[in-house]
Structures are given as C-alpha cells and as structure tokens.
A and B are shown apart, each in its own frame.
Chain A
Amino acid sequence: MSALLHVEPAAAAGDPADPGFAISCVGISKSFPGVRALDDVSIGLRPGTVHALLGENGAGKSTLIRILTGAERPDAGQVYIGGEPLRHATPVAARKLGVRVLPQERHVAADLTVGHNVLLDSLPRNALGLVSSRAVARRAQAHLDRLGLDLDARARAGDLTAAQQQLVELARTTARPAQVIVLDEPTASLAGDEVEVLFRVIRSLRENGTTLLYISHHLHEVFEVADTATVLRNGRHVLDVPVAETDTDGLLRAMFDREIQHSRLPRAPRPATPPAPVLEASAVAVPGQLAPIDVAVRPGEVLALSGPAGSGTSVLAELLAGVREPAQGTVELAGTGRLRSRAAAASAGIGFVPADRKRQALLLERAIVENLQLGAAARSRLFRPRRALRDAATALELGRVRAASPGSPVRVLSGGNQQRVVFARWLSAGCRVLVLDQPTAGVDVAAKFDIYAQLLDLTAEGVAVVVVSSDYEEIAALADRVVVMVGGVATAALEGDAITPERLYELETEGAHEVGEAVVLDDRLDVRTPPLEEDR
C-alpha cells in the first residue's frame, strides 16, 4: 500500500473533543469472538458535510456505525458527539445528542398510515393528550411535501413499494431536527428518480448544517453527494480523503488490498468438456424479485451468484434448492425431474445452507447430534442414542468440526464450527448439489479459508456447489463461474481467472447504473415477499 494513501488516523481526526466536529471517535477497537472488527479507528466529521464511509463487506463499516450511534460499546476508544463524550453508550443517549440513523433494513409498521410512520416517535398530541389522526396527517404531509416526496400521509404504509417505504423511513429520520444523520446503504432499494430525491434531501440537510455519514457500495454516488470519504479495510482505517482529490481507482485501491492476493484458490483441474448439468433452472422468475433467468449447475464446479442483498441472488438460490417454487419456469434435477417440495429436493440430494444460520439452519438449543441427524440426513426410522452419537462423531470429523462432544448444545460452538455442523449434516446426507447463501457470514477469517477448502474438496468429489455471496474476495477465491446480479436481473457472467474482486465490483456498479431504473421498476409489482416461515 502506498504511503500516500495511508493517513495517520490521529492526524485525520485532529483533536477529537474539538467542538468543531459534529461527531468523532478516537481509537475505537472492537472484537467479536474470533474476529477483530475494528482496530484503532479514529474519524471526525465537520458540521454541514457529507462524509462517505467505504469498505467492502466485513471491513467494519456496520460495527463502526453501531458504535457511533450507541448501539454497540467499543472495547476501547471514545465517541464524541458535538464535543461531548458519549458516556453511556446507548441508542437513546446518542439520540438525545442528536444522532439519528436511517437503517439498512426497512422498519415500517405496515398497518399504520404513512403519517403515523413518519411521526412514529413524536406523535403530536392535543390538550387531552390524545393523538389526532388528522393532525398527524397534516403535519406528516407538510414534512413530506417539504422533502419533495410524492407520498400521501393517509395511505397505508404496507401498500407502498419497497422504495416508497424506504422514503417513508427517510422522512421519519428527518422528522425531527438532528445534528448527525447516518444513512446506511440508503439507495439499496431505490430507483433512479428516487435516488435523485434522496440526494436532494441530503443536499438540503447539509445546507441546514446537518452532518451526514453516508454508507454505500456505489462509488458513483459517493462522487455525487459526498464531500469527504473514509475507507476501512479489515477493521483498519486506511484512507481519509476529500472526494474532490481522488477518483474511483484511488478508492478501489484502498478498499481492496492488492498485496494480499486472495485470488483463486488451488483446485483439481476441471475437465476440458464440461459435464452435463446436474441441476437446471429454465426461465425461472419471481415477480418483483427475479427476472426470468436460465442457470445450469454442473457437477464438480463452484457456481457463484454475486450481488448485494435484494439483488435476487438469494431468491435464485432458494429456487435452485426447492425452498420455494418459481412463479414461472422450472427447476430440474438430473435423474429426478422437477423439484416438487423442499423435502423432496433434500432427499434427492440438494443440500441448502441458509444465510440466517441461527434461526434457519440450526436448532440452537438442541444437541449437536440432533442438529446433524435432521431431515434428509436422518436415515433410520429409529433413533438409537448410542449409535446416533457414534455416527455424529464420524460426521463431525467429516465436517471437520473441532472440539465438541455430540451431546452438547450446538449453541456453545463458534460461528465457524456451527457452520461446519450444517455442512456435516449435508455431507452425511450425501448430497449431489450444495446451495449456500452467504456461507461465511459471521465467520472469522481463518475459518473462512477452511470452509473454502472444504467446499473445493467437495467439488473434487463431483458435488456441484452454488454459493450466494456479496463478498467479492470470497467469490474470487472460490468460483469457477459467477453470475453477477443487480435488482433481480443477471447483468454479467465471468469465468475462471477473469473473476477478480475489482472486476466484480465494477460489474455490479455498472449494472446498477445501466439496469437500475428498468429493474427496480419491476420491484413495484409485488414487494411483499412472504417470509420464509410462511413459505413452507
């Protein structure tokens, strides 16, 4: 890394208690079990500026935001808001000091009106202490008009599109005066003209002296609205720069450390002529989430689906695993035919590792042995405890789970070992296809590479592996082929050595630019996806 790009954090932040900073932090460090999320990070934001926080997934952006807004306590270091140290780091304390957050996930009360949602935490009350819906509607409408949002305060929030709900949240965040507003990937579900509305709101807030911390994956947005930018990499603060003094390349260089080449991992040579696909999706589509797409998965390869949350990658993975049925098109497993149900798909040899490990992949309170011998992996109708424990021990070795007796609850294991238990379940079920959604989320770096090696070993045995990931380095390390998706549309595909983190990043950004509008329009058809629990 060139010395020019490396800024002394302390120098960048200046005197942290300097009242000239609207919000600042000094020497923040934070560790989670097995992961050092932040290492001595210091930043300072001047009032009336827009500051971009950049870094790839897992760089520590979310943790830093959570610490700045009081949602998480740092192991070391101090947060200052308007020169005041944030002593009792709680969200309430931070809010009192004027810090507000537009969260990444939408939190809209679907059955309330837009007006009630906008004024949720500051409902106007009359002399009797009662809330008048008319007053709420009037006030909320005035605020929405001021922001230039084309929304009716009397509409039911649940009837809005995802993008409109995001704007409702923006309105809520700005309903009361704030010193600092944190926008966590605000454009993730917005279309082109709505992004323009957002930028207009951001600029007018800045003119009124509000400080904005803007987190985004899209560099072109940074150049459009931000004044300064901070780049985090692996929990360390690597760059602080006025946006006018840098360019896309400069930021990319800082975000991805070229010196540590996490390029493709070694693997068994792939056959010259690709074998016949084991799993094929033909013209599958889900209204509002996935435009029609063909995907073929071949034995012995790793196919990656690259894209941010909401890009359709997870939906496609669920279709491939028979978790849900496509509205159009078919998914066929070689030798079995159409997938009829998740249970049928599982017993036909399609393993699925969901992103939400704790709620969807494991029975946290139950013993490891029960987590292993579950569903398609439970071979015998009888459960013979002694034999079950013996089989479990074998499965644990197969799955390379370290240091645990099969009788203890799966909850006590680390994230990496929990994930290996899920793998071990599918290995002992003898699967032909393994579909994984964000397989290394919440897993520390060393365990990540173990998992990659394990997946590549599987391909050597002829298993087809499908990985959904938003981690470009992960995809570059693992994938034989990759499909890049944006807003429910496959925009590009790469193969072999052409797969690099930078290329994936570029493709996704370009894709968002090109397809953005057309694609997200599709999103308006139906934004209310049934949650998985209801999707049995």
Chain B
Amino acid sequence: MTTLQDPPAQAPARSAAARGPRLQHTTTQALRTIVPLLVLVLGLAVYTNSENAAFLRGSNIENILTQVAVLGILAAGQTFLLIGGQMDLSVGSLVSLVGVLAAKQFAAGWSTVAVVAFGLALGALVGLVWGLVVAYLDVPPFILTLGGLSVLASLALVFSDNVPIRVDDGLDSWGFGQWFGLRAPAVMLIVVLVLAGLLLHLTRFGRTTYALGSSQPTAFLAGVPVRRHIVLLFVGNSTLAAFGGLVLMARLAAGDPRAGSGLELSVIAVTVLGGAALAGGRGTMLGTAVGVLVFGTITASLTFLRVPGAYQALVSGGILIIAVVVTAAADLRSARAGGARGRSALRGLIAPLTRPSSRGTPPPDGA
C-alpha cells in the first residue's frame, strides 16, 4: 500500500541503496501484521469448508462481505483517526441515530436525495463538534467521544420512542440491490475501502495524517495546520459513519435505535487488528480491510460450524486477543532487535514477499 517502488534507478552511486530494502520499512512492518491474518482467514475458511462445503461458495463470500459492510465502512474512517492519533467511540451510536432520523424523514415523505443529504450533513456536524473540541480545547478524544456515545445513543432512543421505525421503500437499492453482479453493500464496502486507501496512501492529506500521529509537535513545526487537519479527520470519519448508518438502515429496512450499539468496539478492534496503532502513526487501509475480513470470516465460520450462540463471542473475542498478542509480541521482538532482526517466526512467511535486505547490524540509536 505504501510506496512499493524501488528507490529511483538513477540514485547516484548509492551502494547502500542498491542493497537496501526493496520495500519501505513501514510496508514491511504492515505486511508483518497482514500476512499472518490472511493465513488465519484462509486456514479458517478451508477448515470450515471441509466441514461444510457451502462456505467457500461465491454466494456465501458475498454474504460475508454484505454482513461486514457497515463495520468496514466505519473502520475505514476510524483508520484515519487512529493513524492521526485520534479516536472516535461515538460512531456506533451515530449509526443508530442516523438510521432512526432517516427512517423518520422517509415516513414524513422526504425524497431519497434529501434524506441522504440530511443524514450525511448530520454526521458531518457531529464530526465538526468533536473535531473543534479536540483541536481547540485539547480535550482527549477518548473521553469526549465516550460521552458522545451515550448522548447520541440516547437521542436515537428518544427520537424513535424506543422502537424501530419501519422504512417501506427508501433506499431499497442500497440494501438489496445488485450492482455489478454483487450485492450493493458489498460493492459499497469495496469502493469505500479503495477510495479511503487512495486518500490515505497517495495524497498529501493521507501522509499528513501519518505525520500528525507520529509526532504532533514535528508536524506543527513543519508547517502542518494541525488543528484544521484534526477537524477534517473527525468530520470525514463521522460523515462516513453516517453513510454507514444509512446503509444499515437500508439493509434492515428500518431505523433501529439499537442497530449500532457496540459497533464502535468492533470497529476499533478490527482496525487495531489490521495494524493501526492506538498511539497513532501506524496502520494501513489494506490492514484494516484484512481485519474486517478476519472478523467476517470468524463470525460466519462459527455459524457454519454450528457453534452455539453463547460461545460465539467467546471464540471471536479469543481469536482477536490471540491475533493482537501475537502481532504485538512479534513487533516487540523486532523492536528489541533494532528493527532489523527478530522476525524469524514470521520470516518464512514474509521473506518471499519482501525480500528483506541483509542489514545485519542494528541501527545506532543516534547520538
């Protein structure tokens, strides 16, 4: 995802560069997270398929993608926030609130365009509030959006009188349509992830987000308009969450005031699983996509394997914990070894992909 290109060929007489890593180290780092996850997904899929041959059928894969569409759309926004050193816990509640209000507007006879515009504007407004408070008052986003989680969840209950509001024919095509031969939510998920990936990795906005999360003072002194950028991150994330809320409403054909409750934790879980650091500065959109895939595969497998419902959360939570611990341990080991060694456990998997250089000596830790 990050620059996969070699250093420029005309780099003059740089013997070190010629032998240097072919990938940027950040890419190598990301692959170290992503590759084991892909192995996990494949292993689980193959095993489940051996128990129940319907698992790897095209329709089921499409089904999995549809199931995780909202989660993935939210995760794309959260990836930007986490990389930028921020966080938003209110997205699940925002999904519920947007769903409820959109359903009410449909019931009141609003046009589809008006409802969609209203929903997205509501999201942008919520994000604007979070962003302004975080950027200008230095309030920790964790606490602020934790409060927001409660407030928005409660508003969703208030506006819906505590019961789901049926939507008869609004946004049907978003929930049940077939686009390009795939179900609409799956298409939206793919489009959102691809566009978010391009924005994150191939624009100045994306690179600035990494800089902000890596070292805010550095970004500030280098001339990044730090506050404006933080506001934009929150606005973008909440707008995307509102979009997710519309998609979920369309899929459920109802504005359910509890539709998004708890979603924020799954969103952060898959994003971190995909390699984004809660401390900021790290993560990739591909990683997030794979994290979402892991979540979808596990959930679907448990159903296919007829694991009783009560155990499902146990198993999926356990896999998340193990996956995160394993990556963290690998990271720690490689950090202790100075970043160049210590990936022996994963080396066999990654080596063919990354062709790591023969940097034998750990880097000096500076003066």
Contacts and interface: CB of A to CB of B under 8 A. Distances in A.
A385 B5 contact: yes
Contact of A374 (B7, B202, B211, B364): B211
Given A367-B25, A383-B204, A384-B202, A33 B364 contact: yes
B345 interface: no
A362 B218 contact: yes
Contacts of A403: 14, 16
Contacts of B4: 385
A267 B222 CA distance: 28
B222 A385 contact: no
A323 interface: yes
A409 B25 contact: yes
Contacts of B217: 354, 356, 359-360, 532-533
Contacts of A376: 222-223
A425 interface: yes
Contacts of B219: 363, 374-375
A533 B218 CA distance: 9
Contacts of B12: 397
B178 interface: no
- The listed residue with most B CB atoms (<10 A of its CB), out of A321, A342, A375, is A375
Contacts of A443: 367
A96 interface: no
* Size bracket, chain A contacts: 35 or more
B328 to A, nearest CB: 16
Contacts of A361: 218, 221
A293 interface: no
A442 B367 contact: yes
A464 B367 CA distance: 28
B359 to A, nearest CB: 9
A346 B227 CA distance: 15
A443 to B, nearest CB: 7
Contact of A363 (B138, B205, B210, B339): B210
Interface in B136-178: 138
Contacts of B16: 403-405
Interface residues of B, number: 50
Contacts of B21: 405, 407-408
Interface stretch (A176-184, A411-419, A490-498): A411-419
Contacts, number: 175
A370 B219 CA distance: 11
A527 interface: no
A513 B211 CA distance: 45
Nearest to A386: B5
B210 A370 contact: yes
Contacts of A429: 223
B8 A363 contact: no
A365 B218 CA distance: 12
Contacts of A418: 366
B50 interface: no
Nearest to A368: B24
A388 B7 CA distance: 10
B8 A375 contact: no
A209 B144 CA distance: 57
- The listed residue with most A CB atoms (<10 A of its CB), out of B202, B215, B227, B363, is B215
B203 A359 contact: no
Nearest to B216: A533
A341 B204 contact: no
B321 interface: no
A5 interface: no
Contacts of A386: 3, 5, 8
10 contacts: A341-B225, A356-B217, A359-B217, A363-B211, A375-B223, A378-B207, A386-B3, A390-B8, A393-B10, A536-B220
Interface of B: 2-5, 7-8, 10-12, 14, 16-17, 20-21, 23-26, 138, 201-208, 210-211, 214-227, 281-282, 339, 363-364, 366-367
